Amino acid sequence: MDLTDRQRKLLFAGLVVVLAAAGVFLTIGSGSHRHAGAGRASTPTPAPTVPQAGVSAPPVTGPPPSPGSYDIYSLLPFTQKDFTTAADMARRFTAAYGTYRFDEDPAAWVTRLRSMVIPDLATQLQQGAAAPGVLAQRKQDQEVSTSDATLDSIRDIGKDQLIFLVTGRQHITKGGKASDASQQYAVTMTRSGGGWVVYAFAPADVGDN
């Protein structure tokens, strides 16, 4: 039966979780056997039991794997460096998106973001920043915002795509009054020229699923 792309992703993610759990179980199990053996050292050794006819013991294939012996990244469609680069770009973009000034040319704001996003998204950001109502309100309130961001989790994984949930926290001065605001975003990253850029960006409750 052919699986949909979504089903393949879920199956793949489940496989990673199962293998990781197996590694932990085997490692802990190895330690438990060692402790149990030490506790039995002072007691008489019971007589060996005779296997039932037709039943054989499973073959011993070697010692349990040591901690860290599972390379999870070998099971994923990207390297550890890919993941780190994409995650850092998602975080930096979210922080830059929430940083602006009422007296700054919107084109300058878009320029800071342009290298982090695909061309189509850069165009969308430019159109939004230049909206007359937004500019007029920010100038009237003399609004200034600085932002930082933190990674929350991974929403989805694909061959050439990662979707992160990132929380942006803005520190806003408006009309002479300071306030804080936070928003969680779904940030879709895609490969581009050997690196990673933002493909899509939206509030998490309406972002890519």
**What confidence tens digit (pLDDT) does each residue in 105-114 have?**
999 999 999 9
Does 208 reside within a domain?
A: no
> Diameter of the chain by CA atoms?
90
Backbone angles phi, psi at 67, to 5 degrees: -55, 135
What CATH number is attached to the domain comprising 93? Answer: 3.10.450.230
Q: Among 49, 76, 103, give the residue marking a domain's end.
A: 76
- Same domain? For 98 and 191 the reply is yes
Residue 157 has pLDDT above 50, yes or no: yes
- Same domain? For 193 and 109 the reply is yes
Q: Residue 11: which pLDDT band, with cuts at 50, 70 and 90?
A: very low
Domain of 30 in residue numbering reads as 1-41+61-76
Residue 209 has pLDDT above 60, yes or no: no
- Same domain? For 11 and 90 the reply is no
pLDDT top residue among 30 and 181: 181
- Same domain? For 102 and 166 the reply is yes
Query: What integer best gives the mean pLDDT of the chain?
Result: 78
Does 192 reside within a domain?
A: yes
Q: Residue 25: which pLDDT band, with cuts at 50, 70 and 90?
A: very low
Domain count, the chain: 2
pTM of the predicted model as reported, rounded to 2 decimal places: 0.67
- Same domain? For 107 and 187 the reply is yes
- Same domain? For 72 and 104 the reply is no
- What pLDDT score was predicted for residue 183? 97
Please state the rounded mean pLDDT for residues 84-100.
97
Number of Cβ atoms within 10 Å of the Cβ of 147:
19
Does 53 reside within a domain?
A: no
Sign of CA pseudo-dihedral 36, 41, 42, 44: positive
Percent of the chain at pLDDT > 70 equals 65
Does 3 reside within a domain?
A: yes
Number of Cβ atoms within 10 Å of the Cβ of 198:
25
- What pLDDT score was predicted for residue 24? 37
pLDDT top residue among 9 and 193: 193
- Same domain? For 72 and 124 the reply is no
- Same domain? For 106 and 118 the reply is yes
- Same domain? For 115 and 86 the reply is yes
- What pLDDT score was predicted for residue 29? 42
pLDDT top residue among 66 and 87: 87
Burial class (CB in 10 A: 0-12, 13-18, 19+), 175: exposed
Residue 137 has pLDDT above 60, yes or no: yes
